[in-house]
Amino acid sequence: MLPITPDTLIYAVCALAYLGLAYWFWPGQSGCCRTDWLPRVLPVFPLLLHLYLLNDGVFGGGGVRLGFSTSISAVAALTVLTYAGAAWRYHLGGVQGFVLAFAGLAVVIEAISPLPQPAAHSAMPVFKLHLAMAFSAYSLFTIAALHAGLIALAQKHLHKAVPPTLVVGLPPLLTLEKFLFRMIQIGFLLLSLTLLTGVLFSEEIFGKAMPFNHKTVFGIASWLIYGALLLGRQVYGWRGRTAIYWTLSGFASLVLAYVGVKFVLEVLLGR
């Protein structure tokens, strides 16, 4: 059982606020189809609590502490932040339910997980720049993967006489697809910068530009997959199932590059 501290209460309030808003935004619920200012503003309040907790968890103990729980939490917070901004331009009501549910679960995971040790060399500016690029790319590709899944779901029920409520409450397919490729384009740029800063960081610390390990292999693989998808979109007009498969493949490779390995080492192996 977690000890009752001020931070524990903030974790609880933040998670409950996220999950409550997720239910309100869920397709078919009252907040899903609202287009006024209220659904655009409400997610900001738990997000501010989340950023406070994340700052304390990652930077509060000297150096940068990045483990499985804080990494998932950081990606979730940046994903909510991206949607909070995009909601002023796009109608994404039903989609926000999924994003807020993910953020609520991420806060719970962070609250119940032990704090990781500070990362080596984490005070270096190039390392902090590398992390900022990496987590921004992760959050954008998380959004892209979510949209790819929702597009697949919508296409599956597109021609049914009475589609399920989950599909009816989603934005139009063209909106989902447009937002999908916008996130991939920006994410690809950030991933490119992540790999570049990773080379600079590795060369400064270890004396070699790119060590051969799982992060390098899966990071480059995801970069190649997303690059091929954008090229195929530009040259051949790829969309629909082709875009979905490539998006999810790139995301799977990106997860294996970092978060998946962290999960195996910290959660399954306890290291």
Quick check: 115 pLDDT over 80? no
pLDDT score recorded for residue 208 = 61
Quick check: 219 pLDDT over 80? yes
The model's pLDDT over 29-59, given as tens digits with 9 standing for 90+, comes to: 888 877 788 888 999 999 999 999 988 877 7
Mean pLDDT of 111-115: 84
Burial 48-75 (b: 16+ CB within 10 A, else e): ebbbebbeebbeeeeebbbbbbbbbbbb
Alpha helices, DSSP H, located in 87-164: 93-112, 125-156
Q: Both tokens of residue 63?
A: 């150096």
Q: Both tokens of residue 216?
A: 């390098």
Q: Nearest CA to 170 among 161, 160, 158? A: 158
The model's pLDDT over 56-83, given as tens digits with 9 standing for 90+, comes to: 877 766 667 777 788 889 999 999 999 8
Mean pLDDT across the chain: 83
How much is the pTM?
A: 0.85
Which percentage of the chain shows pLDDT scores above 70?
83
pLDDT score recorded for residue 262 = 59
Neighbouring CB atoms inside 10 A of 229's CB total 22
CA pair distance 108, 43, nearest whole angstrom: 17
Q: Nearest CA to 262 among 126, 11, 71, 1? A: 71
pLDDT score recorded for residue 70 = 85
Quick check: 21 pLDDT over 90? yes
CA pair distance 63, 122, nearest whole angstrom: 5
pLDDT score recorded for residue 120 = 64
Mean pLDDT of 236-262: 86
